[in-house]
Amino acid sequence: MRPVRAASAWQRWANLRLLTDLPAAVDRLQLRGGASRVDLGPCPVAYVAEPELARAVLDTRVDGIAERGRFYRDVARVIGHTSLVTAEGDLHHRLRRAVAPAFRPDAIAAYAPTMVERARALGATWPEGGEVAVDREMARLALDIAARSLFGADLGDELEDFSTVLRSGTRIFYREALPTRLAEALWSSRWSPANRRLAASRVRIDALVKRLVADRRREVPDGAPRTNLLDALLACRDPAGRPLEDDEIRDQVVTFLFAGHETTAQALTWALVLLSCHPDAGERLVAEVHATSGRRPPGPAELPGLRWTRAVVRETLRLYPPAWFLSREASAATSLAGCPVPAGAMVTVSPLGMHRDPAHWDRPEAFDPGRWLGPEEPGAAYLPFGHGRRNCIGSSFALAELPLVLAALLGDWRIEVHRPELVTARPSVTLRPAGRVSATVRRRR
């Protein structure tokens, strides 16, 4: 373990070149072990490679580490300041408790039929022997599932608006990394094309969310049993008995539609890419699906039996963790594994770096779902859903959705991604494939 001291001014600016190949940069930082500094221009940044320390940082169990930070302040511009993702302290605690019922095992089991039914409905639109854009199809599917399960809403046609807001959001990271006065001015200007698109999309999304809430209030009278996330939000009361404000509800709806579809869409896309690279693993998955549920659609009861399918999901999340980069902020000067960290520094952890670190994994670059079939639980170096009090509240949702959707789609369809070995990752807010991922689809006889 080699602590790295604060960089010289020249080094800090030279570090900006790391942004041109983030996966390689993360690999190198990870190999340094412990914690190290990688200041970007005027922005002090610390990278934590050691798994237990990374978990402590994410859980803010380290003195001088704040729950959120500048990255999340910028995310708030896209998803709102009172979102579960961006809120801190009491508000975060209250929101987390409010939404928890929508992620209990009985709620997840109730969403499962929708997950499978929507996957099959999507497959029914595919042309036999034709070509589909897997990344786009998985984004539509994941959004459709999140909207229907969590909010009882059908918003297929509004996908474009959500994508627009999200695309604007992905620039946040690069702004953090390029904090020159010019970039700042361009980004902040109301007149920049990106910000005008963002503002226009926000107006349409706000109208859509208002409609969803009004519909739900009409459909579920007070006192009736509450079933999904929107119901849980509408039922939430603070200690003084006050309900959530409309803006707070709006922020949660936007947050959960984003967080609940972008990550799972990337995971499904990467799983299909990996299975096309490894046809034996794909055939084993199909054999398991047919042996478990025959030609019937799989349901929540079949999940425990889909051991290989679940192992494929875990291995996909290891090699391509959609949340590849997590950040906190130093609220005071502190030290991490002997590395001095000034107040205001961005403190980063990368599941991508950690999941491919040879210090923690045997053959880290190999796609080997078999590593997940043993009885032992994953070690501290596996954290696709983060850790601690800010961990992913949707992990049980995702861990039901991903195997069920793969089982439903691959049970019915052969999905052959074109040149899968050439698909590379382009990290932005999530770990997306660079460019379009096309596949030929053929119905299984």
**Which residues make up the interface to ligand HEM (CB under 6 A)?**
58, 84-85, 96, 146, 255-256, 259-260, 263-264, 267, 321-323, 326, 384-386, 390-394, 397-398
Residue 122 vs 317, nearer CB to ligand HEM: 317
Shortest separation between residue 256's beta carbon and ligand HEM, angstroms: 5
Shortest separation between residue 282's beta carbon and ligand HEM, angstroms: 19
Residue 126 vs 256, nearer CB to ligand HEM: 256
Tokens 């200690």 belong to which residue?
Answer: 239
Residue 4 vs 91, nearer CB to ligand HEM: 91
Shortest separation between residue 22's beta carbon and ligand HEM, angstroms: 17
How far is 443 from 62, CA to CA, in rounded Å?
A: 53
- Contacts of 286-290 with CB under 8 Å at 24 or more apart are 286/410, 286/411, 286/444, 289/407, 289/410, 289/411, 290/411
Shortest separation between residue 106's beta carbon and ligand HEM, angstroms: 16
Residue 202 vs 390, nearer CB to ligand HEM: 390
How far is 344 from 196, CA to CA, in rounded Å?
A: 30
| E strand spans, 166-222 | none
How far is 361 from 379, CA to CA, in rounded Å?
A: 10
Residue 7 vs 336, nearer CB to ligand HEM: 336
| Nearest CA among 397, 245, 146, 311 for reference residue 236 | 245
Shortest separation between residue 156's beta carbon and ligand HEM, angstroms: 18
Residue 7 vs 352, nearer CB to ligand HEM: 352
How far is 26 from 35, CA to CA, in rounded Å?
A: 12
Give the residue closest to ligand HEM by C-beta.
394
How far is 413 from 444, CA to CA, in rounded Å?
A: 5
Shortest separation between residue 118's beta carbon and ligand HEM, angstroms: 14
Single-letter amino acid, residue 353: G
Residue 7 vs 248, nearer CB to ligand HEM: 248
* Coil vs helix vs strand at 123: helix
Shortest separation between residue 345's beta carbon and ligand HEM, angstroms: 16
Residue 308 vs 382, nearer CB to ligand HEM: 382
* 8 Å CB contact between 420 and 414: no
* 8 Å CB contact between 46 and 347: yes
- Phi, psi angles (nearest 5°) of residue 439: -145, 155
Write out the two tokens for 214: 């009004």
Shortest separation between residue 5's beta carbon and ligand HEM, angstroms: 27
How far is 266 from 138, CA to CA, in rounded Å?
A: 8
